[in-house]
A and B are shown apart, each in its own frame.
Chain A
């Protein structure tokens, strides 16, 4: 049962941390099998947008529609069960769990789909060799692969990646994005948040630029001029 509209849509999405407002009416949408990048400087509200979609930051009812259903205000575990996964900023692997246990717990919601331990090991072969090792003992790039694999274990329709290139060497970042490309080729819809504009624009079908909690620019990378993007990014 699939609806025909966009896979995910936000309508005038607002978000608050206590009294301070972080998002001011974001209208965002992503179609099935699309890859969308969200760019913006530090504190622009990119991570908050992802956290609102997954439910970690509470959204109002009727602010977020996923697959045609209103998920605004739902608890995180329900949203995950419906098919959205987040690779959190800074990876957030579970330090007392091994690599394999970290991956397994990703499948906690028991959503059916193509991803399981074997499929993740096939996608990231070096993780299989290290499966018994404590997850936090791996290198940064390998940890990021565990984080991505863990999110995939929930068989998401929509994968959210928050700053997966943070603190990694360029050659590793290239490798990670190559992995993501293979994953989206299998029909997973992807939202990436990255501070690296070039990287983000290179992998995405469409880009949103966010500044001070508002969408200031939206478009397909080939249609956007460098100057236009810079102006939207920095606001001058």
Chain B
């Protein structure tokens, strides 16, 4: 029964990973930008939530009311102010700039918040359990994360395939020059995509901060989890990203059952195995 519980935990953890991944996937899809700073932006939003919760004394989930729009604005500004200037031509330039941003964010957070581990205090949400038959219990928090991931991915899917903004995103993704001929202001659209990405990131960041300890240095590992979820699922498919996140999550929780030290390693090994056997992932739309 322990095994069933571990798999269940892994599936729910996959929700969090798909939240990490969907923002990254969106940005890559719309403007072919590999945002190396994505993980650090997740950590940044956790720290912003920390400041909000300690100063206003609100629950971390309530802090999202402030953190989501803040990160969205930051995303729009970041895109129009920095990334848009790097996007023409060479694909290496935006990657380098994102890498620079990642270093800058880590050091700025270190300077302001020190290297101490922090946690967002979510009261009894951290310990609440739902008891399932056969003595298995699942945490309310992981369930909530998974449901939120489902809602966000469905929402993104709806946005992309059933709204004018989503249609514009897909146009720009197909052909940036012709998109302009439709009257689309690409710079503005890229800004909106980054705003949306960081709004999702902030939800992921707050959940991360409630679930585990965080400090300024953990961003790059989250970036790798996000990458792995995307690659396993297949580039360009959001539901695939959820499946990728779940596979990664299950691999990690099963690895942790063997020995706590194997948790991260098991995830990477499964990722490598899938990359070898199915290099395009399971549901790839982009090859």
Query: Residues of A with Cβ closer than 8 Å to B?
Result: 54-56, 75-77, 80-81, 85-86, 88, 92, 94-97, 101, 104-106, 108-109, 111, 150-151, 154
Are A108 and B183 interface neighbours, CB within 8 A?
Answer: yes
Q: How far is the CB of B21 from chain A (nearest CB, A)?
A: 20
Chain B residue numbers with a CB within 8 Å of A75 are 180, 185
Query: Which 9 A-B pairs have CB atoms at the shortest separation, nearest pair first?
Result: A109-B183, A80-B183, A76-B180, A92-B178, A94-B174, A77-B185, A108-B182, A108-B183, A77-B183
Interface hub of A77, A111, A151 (most chain B Cβ within 10 A): A77
Complex CA gap A92/B173 in Å reads: 13
* B131 in the interface (beta carbon within 8 A): no
Complex CA gap A86/B177 in Å reads: 12
Contact pick for A105, options B173, B177, B182, B185, CB 8 Å: B182
Complex CA gap A56/B180 in Å reads: 8
Contact pick for A96, options B170, B178, B183, B185, CB 8 Å: B170
Complex CA gap A88/B182 in Å reads: 11
Knowing A77-B183, A77-B185, A109-B183 are in contact, say whether A88-B178 is a contact too (CB < 8 A): yes
Secondary structure of the B contact surface, majority rule: helix
Complex CA gap A108/B164 in Å reads: 8
* B56 in the interface (beta carbon within 8 A): no
* B70 in the interface (beta carbon within 8 A): no
Contact pick for A94, options B164, B175, B180, B183, CB 8 Å: B175
Q: How far is the CB of A102 from chain B (nearest CB, A)?
A: 9
Are B167 and A105 interface neighbours, CB within 8 A?
Answer: yes
| Interface size range on B against A | 10 to 19
* B171 in the interface (beta carbon within 8 A): yes
Knowing A77-B184, A80-B182, A86-B181 are in contact, say whether A92-B168 is a contact too (CB < 8 A): no
Chain A residue numbers with a CB within 8 Å of B182 are 80, 105-106, 108-109, 150, 154
Known: A56-B180, A76-B180. 7 other contacts (CB 8 A): A77-B180, A88-B178, A92-B175, A92-B181, A94-B171, A105-B168, A109-B182
